[in-house]
Amino acid sequence: MSDTAGDMPGWRGGWLNRLVARPGFQSWASKFPLTRRQARKDGALLFDVVQGFVQSQVLMALVELDILKRLRAGPQSADLLGRATDIPADRMRVLLQAAAALDLLKRDRRGAYRLARKGAALMGVPGLEAMIRHHRAFYADLADPVALLQGPMQTELSEFWPYVFGARGDIDPDVAAKYSDLMAQSQRLVAEDTLRAVSLKGTHCLLDVGGGTGAFLEAAGRQATGLQMMLFDLPQVVSAARVRLNAAGMGDRVTIHAGSFREDPLPLGADALSLIRVLYDHSDDTVRNLLAAAFAALPPGGRLIISEPMGGGASPDPAGDVYFAFYTLAMQTGRVRSADEISDLCATAGFVDMRSRKPARAYVTRVLTARKPQ
């Protein structure tokens, strides 16, 4: 009945949960004046969980049909949008009503639909529409969640990302460019939250390991105008980083190193090292080796910056422990870790003074810093 019942100590919590789990009790509680408000609230919240996949598919249809973009100029009817998208008007109305129920659209008195604030905000998030389209692969892997959990199984995501980064032979350059751009766009939000949480004041040179096309370094370079920078990543992606950083006017401040942190030593000379959305892509053994390499690359007093979605540990987090946990499960290359788990791995590598503040947006990233002893 209460969402805190599971936290009750001893026999009381277990007894109450057993009572609440009875269908007869739920029927009674939904009618009894003192319990019906909570019972109905619990029911509505459970139904939101049940229909979550349908909500995601409604969003997918809106993005695939460019409905939000079509409404940017003003309200339109279901008939007009249906003709523009080759969808029968009555079926288009089903989609638009669903979007309005999700507060993505608003319906006016004439029956036309316009953007709601939430729908407009979706278009303002860099890379979000591209990520929603990319979710086709993720949704396919979640079609049988029990099989995914039982694993190992061949998944769309486990085949897709190695292909994009050239680990499995020749790759379509258009595909590589498209999804490198997708990652770069999503990195803009990560960079914003990371640089809000961590000051680069006093840092002479920042080495970004696994830095992709340089989106984080570009943001860091804009914040700290005197900062020298190094980027280390696979040969398949660093050429795009060079183009990006040159275009940003930072070419003379950045040294680019091509290599794999699995096989090659990290370059020396930086007093800070960043790992932005890197650790959760890899196994514990790979992470241990990478943190040891980071420790060796930094000078005494050097700082380590880790930024990625994290699990909540003892206080489960709906972003890290639901979305990102299952995403990495489907990727089959890593896992989401809590800040405490990452701190322990850092300590094993020799780092001290691990700190992680409450994130501004846990669904974007969480930041943890550590230091190499003097």
Query: pLDDT digits over 122-163, tens only?
Result: 988 877 888 898 888 899 999 999 999 998 778 888 877 654
| Cβ-contact 170, 235 below 8 angstroms | no
Closest CA to 182 of 273, 277, 55: 277
Give the per-residue pLDDT at 99: 98
Report pLDDT for 2: 43
What are the extents of the domains in the chain?
5-50, 53-123, 159-371
Whose tokens are 């091509």? That residue is 258
Low-confidence residues in the chain, pLDDT < 70: 1-13, 15-16, 19-21, 25-26, 28-30, 32, 161-184
CA distance 39 to 53: 23
Exposed, middle or buried: residue 150 (CB in 10 Å: 0-12, 13-18, 19+)? exposed
Q: How many angstroms separate the Cα of 111 from the Cα of each of 80, 86, 99, 213, 286?
A: 12, 20, 14, 45, 56
> Cα torsion for 24, 30, 33, 38, to the nearest 10°?
120
> If one looks up domain 159-371 in CATH, what number appears?
3.40.50.150
**pTM (two decimals):** 0.84
Say yes or no: domain 53-123 is CATH 1.10.10.10: yes
- Region for 212 from its dihedrals, namely left if φ exceeds 0, alpha if ψ lies in -120 to 50, beta otherwise: left
